[in-house]
């Protein structure tokens, strides 16, 4: 394959590596689900090939100063055209890529990045920062409107080293393009881990996590990458910002907080200093079932306000638990987990279970799993067995994006969105939002679909509400119909989470797809201040224009797949 990437080759049109495939059992399960259930006449669409696409010719040529790190091959342009949202894959199945980057650049140094910025500024070229390409909200699509001469995608894959480990303060300085598994592999010899595991962990980068305020492994306390960031180094068109390494500071508005969640509109994150964890020694895992979802939610509220801070505290409603094969009858399931490198966690788990039982939670004490990691080098003994409801859910969670590829090839809609709400508003919010989506599915597709919910993260004042929905997108292999139906459902989701008082996103980021909701959620004065900050760091407005906000005096608006549905 013609590429300048040094990483293992990605599947350009969907999730995963190009040389990976589903197991025969996974394929059979999906095929049976489709043929025996939702769409008996469905035909599996062929996987897109690079040669299927007639991309427009690049509008610019890389200058000599950066030519060695630039590519305009079809494969590189396709990989960097979209993220991994449902709409991104649907458009790939349609062979519809109207906005490929003209050039893909793989900078090796900060000087390379500044050279790219200088060229882009001089020739009015938009620059799209790219980490792992796992955005599910249009955050890396080069849909910048007609006001730019061309686009460059700036791939940070060469910034892939752990630069320093401070074992005393338990921090690490890591380059922004390093993938999740590579980070933990590099920290392991030191006895540390980052313990930040978003669903995209295998393919996403620490710079991307910081830029999008990614949610991770911890369901309480350290819920977002924000909580692990000690300092940030960012290269902007106006120069370099590097914040001081400090455990905390009350010195005015935080520059770290400005860069965290900036989604590539202010600069490119080249280094991050993060708080790391000792490898856990003691773990406890349990699954509690409830006949009533709201009693289960009350148990979660009480646990979140107890000061126990479980590592895992994820609640699956009846539809979610059944849909993922976690239970065989309509029960809500609370997955609890505790871990520590310092002390046993049995007492913490026992107290959490006592709270759950106070709300009629059911659990067999013999099903609770307690583990202690032995430092005997026996990795096999340290692996977790896939046996409990918790393990079944964990496996389903990480395999879901792989399964979605094949489900979409059959014309099915299978997607998610997430928000958050305070506890006192949860009952009406949960019931109303599920009903909104269920009604929209029936209205748009003409038949009922599936809507389920889980809590991914919980706080003393409320949960993150994560909705999964499924429907028949097309029965005839018409992927334009599939995409149009998804857009209508996405529009309803975007509107209703805001209308009902939630956030447009809890951890998926804003990108282009959520911008209309972001504008409604944020105070106008704040958006004006953010625009001014962007002007100071990116005077010509070349960085990711249209994501979050427009550059000052340059109209981009809502672009990408939601342009006609905002």
446 is in an annotated binding site: no
Known binder of ligand: residue 264? yes
DSSP secondary structure of 284-346: EEEEEEESSHHHHHHHHHHHHTTT---SEEEEE-HHHHHHTTS-SSS-EEEEEEEEESSS--H
Q: Is 37 annotated as a binding residue?
A: no
Q: Is 263 annotated as a binding residue?
A: yes
Residue 265 counted as an annotated binding residue: yes
| Residue 130 labelled as part of a binding site | yes
Q: Is 370 a catalytic residue?
A: no
Candidates 442, 450, 448, 445; CA nearest to 476 is 445
**Is 134 marked as binding a ligand?**
yes
Say if residue 323 carries a ligand binding annotation: no
- The answer to whether the beta carbons of residues 97 and 55 sit under 8 Å apart is yes
* CA 215 to chain CA centroid, nearest Å: 7
What is the side-by-side strand order in the sheet with 229-236?
Answer: 162-166, 171-175, 268-275, 229-236, 239-242
Q: Tell me the C-alpha distance between 127 and 125, whole Å.
A: 6
Set 75, 148, 466, 518: catalytic member? 466
Between the CA of residue 19 and those of 8, 9, 78, 164, 283, what are the distances in Å?
A: 9, 8, 17, 33, 34
Q: Are 57 and 105 in contact (CB under 8 A)?
A: no
* Percent helix / strand / coil, the chain, rounded to 5: 35, 20, 45
* 133 known ligand binder: yes
Residue 97 assigned ligand-binding role = no
Give the C-alpha separation, 115 to 529, whole Å.
28
Q: Which residues carry out catalysis?
A: 466
- Residues at the annotated binding site? 129-135, 263-269
- Residues at the annotated binding site for FAD? 129-135, 263-269
């Amino acid at each position: 394959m013609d590429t300048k990437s040094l990483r293992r080759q990605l599947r350009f049109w969907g999730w995963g590596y190009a040389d990976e495939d589903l197991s025969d059992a996974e394929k059979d399960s999906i095929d049976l689900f489709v043929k025996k259930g939702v769409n008996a006449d469905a035909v599996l669409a062929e996987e897109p090939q690079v040669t299927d696409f007639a991309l427009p010719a690049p509008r610019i040529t890389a200058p000599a100063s950066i030519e060695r790190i630039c590519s305009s091959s079809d494969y590189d342009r396709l990989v960097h055209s979209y993220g991994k949202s449902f709409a991104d894959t649907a458009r790939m199945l349609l062979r519809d890529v109207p906005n490929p980057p003209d050039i893909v650049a793989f900078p090796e140094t900060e000087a390379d990045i500044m050279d790219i910025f200088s060229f882009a500024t001089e020739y009015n070229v938009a620059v799209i920062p790219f980490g792992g390409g796992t955005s599910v909200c249009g955050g890396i699509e080069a849909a910048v409107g007609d006001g730019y001469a061309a686009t460059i995608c700036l791939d940070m894959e060469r910034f892939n080293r752990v630069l320093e480990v401070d074992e005393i303060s338990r921090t690490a300085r890591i380059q922004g393009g390093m993938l999740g598994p590579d980070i933990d592999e590099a920290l392991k010899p030191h006895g540390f881990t980052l313990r930040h595991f978003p669903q995209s962990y295998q393919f996403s980068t620490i710079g991307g996590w910081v830029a999008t305020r990614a949610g991770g492994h911890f369901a309480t306390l350290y819920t977002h990458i924000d909580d692990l960031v000690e300092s940030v180094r960012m290269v902007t068109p106006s120069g370099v910002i590097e914040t001081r390494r400090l455990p905390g500071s009350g010195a005015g508005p935080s520059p770290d907080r400005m860069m965290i969640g900036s989604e590539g509109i202010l600069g490119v994150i080249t280094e991050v200093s993060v708080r790391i964890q000792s490898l856990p020694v003691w773990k406890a895992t349990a699954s509690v079932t409830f006949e009533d979802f709201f009693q289960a939610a009350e148990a979660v509220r009480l646990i979140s306000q107890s000061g126990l801070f479980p590592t895992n505290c994820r609640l699956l409603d009846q539809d979610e638990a059944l849909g993922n094969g976690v239970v065989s009858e309509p029960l809500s399931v609370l997955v609890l987990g505790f871990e520590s490198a310092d002390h046993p966690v049995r007492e913490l788990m026992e107290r959490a279970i006592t709270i759950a039982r106070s709300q009629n939670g059911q659990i067999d004490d013999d099903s609770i799993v307690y583990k202690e990691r032995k430092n005997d080098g026996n990795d096999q003994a340290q692996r977790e067995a896939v046996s409990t409801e918790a393990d079944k859910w964990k496996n389903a969670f990480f395999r879901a994006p792989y399964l979605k590829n094949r489900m979409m090839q059959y014309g099915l809609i299978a997607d998610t969105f997430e928000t958050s709400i305070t506890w006192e508003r949860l009952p009406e919010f949960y019931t109303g939002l599920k009903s909104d989506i269920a009604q929209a599915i029936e209205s748009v597709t003409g038949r009922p679909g599936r809507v389920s919910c889980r809590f991914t993260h919980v706080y003393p004042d409320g949960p993150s509400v994560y909705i999964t929905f499924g429907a028949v997108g097309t029965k005839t292999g018409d992927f334009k119909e599939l995409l149009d139906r998804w857009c209508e459902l996405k529009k309803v989701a975007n509107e209703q989470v805001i209308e009902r008082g939630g956030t447009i996103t809890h951890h998926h980021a804003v990108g282009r797809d959520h911008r209309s909701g972001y504008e409604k959620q944020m105070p106008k004065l704040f958006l004006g201040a953010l625009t001014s900050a962007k002007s100071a760091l990116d005077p010509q407005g070349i960085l990711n224009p249209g994501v979050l906000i427009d550059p000052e005096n340059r109209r981009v608006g809502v672009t990408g797949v939601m342009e006609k549905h905002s």
